[in-house]
Structure 1
Amino acid sequence: MKNTKTAFSILFLLVLGGFLFIWLEKELAFREELEQRTLPTGLHPIVEEKRDLLVAQAAEIGIDILITDGYRSPEEQDGLHSQGRSSSGSIVTYAEAGESYHNYGLAIDYALRLDDGSVVWDIERDGNGNGESDWFEVAAIGKNLGFDWGGDWQRFKDYPHLEMTFGLSIRELQQGWRPEDKME
């Protein structure tokens, strides 16, 4: 009797384990398919529109900016993340693939463009001569357009970075949530 109960218990656990394995395999395949299907390949339309307004409004006050980055593929993000770690260069991001708003088309980076066409990341430069830092003037324009600015972050100041989260966390974006394409 005891051997029969043990055999049934083992058989039950094997069958249950098999069902769990099949379910987990299907769940992982579904999540991978969902991720592949819903990951953007460019900037969100609203972010794209606000990026263009940022460039135009900065130009109106005599500041020429260059958008140095926008949407980043997971491969590009991992390449940047490896800088200063497993490849040469300085650390420029702490976010791996899927952990940056750039990966969801919701962030841009900017720099100041000089008259000779060169680009600088000088946060103290006052090229338009109004007594204010051009960098901070551009950040203020961005914030007025609805961007969050990386220069306001407490832990890691990312001065070139502007993002629109639409109230979504990175975790929610990783789970497949996406912002609407139109403002209300």
Structure 2
Amino acid sequence: MRRYATDFTAWGILILLVIVLLLVFSQRESRYKDLGDDAPLPDKLNPVVEEKMDKLVQRAADKGIEIVITETVRSKIEQNELYAKGRTADGSVVTYARGGESYHNYGLAFDYALRNKDGELIWDINYDGNGNGKPDWFEVAEIAKDLGFEWGGDWSRFKDYPHLQMDFGLSIRQLQNGLRPKHEKKDDPK
């Protein structure tokens, strides 16, 4: 009798675990739209990314830092041209992502630069234009991370200081397979 109770308990736990996993998986997938393998690439930023980007620009300005958005959505062709730099084209390597392998290709990333007091665009990560003793580049990165962005300056393989992205839990492979973030309008205090 005892053996049957143990077997029943083990089966019960297994069934409960399967139900929980199915619920978690179905809720996770419901956060995304599935557009299929032939999903078109967007020609503009994801609306949440754009809204947060605008907040970033404003919050940086409130700290006396002027940032300029230098790149948003890229086509696969543009991405491949960037990938060629330092490889088959003149220049230094600027990316390890080929066309379709960058969050830029899906409207989920943008690049920025700083504008100094002379009006010039700069990419000097040590520049302290607002004179508070902290590099402006890192101040912008902290604001961005507070807004939910991933910063390329935190990457270990390739430091991409001008790069910010939101992946919404989607890998590049999932994006290539047609999954896209699904957004519902709700108030966001950030």
**TM-score, normalised with respect to structure 2:** 0.76
1:117 alignment counterpart: 119
Which one of the candidate residues 150, 153, 165 is aligned to 1:151?
153
Tell me if structure 2 keeps the 8 A contact 1:46–1:183.
Answer: no
Q: How does 1:97-112 map to 2 (within 5 A)?
A: 97-112=99-114
**Deviation for aligned residue 1:85:** 1.1
1:72 correspondence with 2:74: yes
Tell me if structure 2 keeps the 8 A contact 1:42–1:71.
Answer: yes
Tell me if structure 1 keeps the 8 A contact 2:151–2:165.
Answer: yes
Tell me if structure 1 keeps the 8 A contact 2:152–2:164.
Answer: yes
2:97 alignment counterpart: 95
Tell me if structure 1 keeps the 8 A contact 2:49–2:109.
Answer: yes
1:55 correspondence with 2:52: no
Tell me if structure 1 keeps the 8 A contact 2:76–2:100.
Answer: yes
**Deviation for aligned residue 1:36:** 4.8
**Deviation for aligned residue 1:34:** 4.6
2:12 alignment counterpart: none
Tell me if structure 1 keeps the 8 A contact 2:72–2:107.
Answer: yes
Q: Distance in 1 between matches of 2:113 and 2:126?
A: 12
**Deviation for aligned residue 1:156:** 1.1
Instruction: Give the secondary structure class of the aligned counterpart of 1:38.
Output: coil
Q: How does 1:19-58 map to 2 (within 5 A)?
A: 34-58=36-60
Instruction: Give the secondary structure class of the aligned counterpart of 1:65.
Output: strand
Tell me if structure 1 keeps the 8 A contact 2:39–2:178.
Answer: no
1:181 alignment counterpart: 183
**Deviation for aligned residue 1:183:** 5.9
Tell me if structure 2 keeps the 8 A contact 1:58–1:138.
Answer: yes
Greater helix proportion: 1
**TM-score, normalised with respect to structure 1:** 0.79
Q: Distance in 1 between matches of 2:184 and 2:73?
A: 18
**Structure 1 residues 182 and 69: alpha-carbon distance in aligned structure 2, compared to 1, 3 A threshold:** farther
Tell me if structure 1 keeps the 8 A contact 2:38–2:178.
Answer: no
**Structure 1 residues 82 and 59: alpha-carbon distance in aligned structure 2, compared to 1, 3 A threshold:** same
Q: Distance in 1 between matches of 2:160 and 2:122?
A: 15
Q: Distance in 1 between matches of 2:151 and 2:89?
A: 28
Q: Runs of 5+ in structure 1 lacking a partner?
A: 1-32
Instruction: Give the secondary structure class of the aligned counterpart of 1:68.
Output: strand
Q: Runs of 5+ in structure 2 lacking a partner?
A: 1-34
Which one of the candidate residues 132, 135, 139 is aligned to 1:133?
135
**Deviation for aligned residue 1:115:** 2.5
